[in-house]
Amino acid sequence: MFDLIKLTDRTFYFDMPTKIGVYKIDDKRVFIIDTGISEKSAKRVLKTLGEMGLEVDFILNTHSHTDHAGGNKYICEATGCKAYTAEVEDVLIEFSDVEATLVYGGFPCRDFRKKFMNTPSCKTYNIAEAPLPKGTEIFPLYGHTAHMIGIKTPDDVYFIADVVNSKDTLDKVKICYVYDIDTQLETLEKLKELDGKLCVPAHAEVTENISTLAEENIKNLLEIREEILKILREKPLTAEELTANLCRNFGLKLDLMGLVMITSTVKSHLSSLRHKGIIDWVMEDFTWYWKIAEE
């Protein structure tokens, strides 16, 4: 782990808990895709690149989550480079309080805001302004976050961020964070078109067979949906009660951060089902319950 892995003549990645992409623009300059979770990971990146005689020309952030943008501030200050990302994601990187509030559902308590929800504030610029080498492509991967993007390097390596989770992660965590369920499902279906291309997921193995993993992630989301409906057929529940039932049924063990993020994702599932007319809600004694819609 933490090694720099060569994929093509010009494309590499750092094998970290969150993979960091590297593309050699020329013999002296690179752009990097994401920066890891912290200053520590950023220092590792700069040290390794420096030993190779390479400098970071700019950063492309796939999205705002701390494990992808946590090293931005250090690298930008150390090198003078700029970081670029999509709209909405730029605001969340620059103002990490907004990111934490989005997930928490109000001003977040300190117990929730640990390392993952404390991205050091860093100015980012719109991806349209990035000085991309010819052949670099930016493509939408919306769903996991509002405007997550993928990056294709000029030598046809696709960095696809958090659009998929590994099979091990799906089996262990089961309910992985998703902001927009329906958009995520659409993105996963489109991802299958990249089958045969070299894909680098941030939290899974590099593969040319992304379709299989995309299908596993689709299956996982649909299984969660069916379990929600199964539980709600028993009786109406609040989102928090429903989350507790899901965690028990799936045998999950969580800390506070994990529980908050899963509750947020369950609410996204509820919105999806409500928009389809499959479930409805009712208020009783100032309590908001979800239930199966009447036919």
Residue 29: pLDDT band (50, 70, 90) is very high
Quick check: 1 pLDDT over 80?
A: no
What's the whole-model pTM score? 0.96
3-state DSSP assignment of residue 67:
helix
d(CA 28, CA 97): 36
Percent of the chain with pLDDT over 90: 94
Tens-digit pLDDT profile for residues 144-196: 999 999 999 999 999 999 999 999 999 999 999 999 999 999 999 999 999 99
Quick check: 114 pLDDT over 80?
A: no
Helical spans, DSSP H, in the chain: 39-51, 66-69, 72-79, 89-94, 96-104, 167-173, 181-191, 210-232, 239-250, 256-275
d(CA 86, CA 92): 10
Q: What is the mean pLDDT of residues 34-39?
A: 96
Tens-digit pLDDT profile for residues 68-100: 999 999 999 999 999 999 999 999 999 989 999
Which residue do the tokens 């909405």 mark?
Answer: 88
Residue 116: pLDDT band (50, 70, 90) is confident
Residue 104: pLDDT band (50, 70, 90) is very high
Tens-digit pLDDT profile for residues 208-238: 999 999 999 999 999 999 999 999 999 999 9
Give the pLDDT of residue 117. 83
Please provide residue 25's backbone torsions phi and psi, each rounded to the nearest 5 degrees.
-70, -45
Quick check: 115 pLDDT over 90?
A: no
Domains recognised in the chain with CATH numbers:
4-162 (3.60.15.10), 227-292 (1.10.10.10)
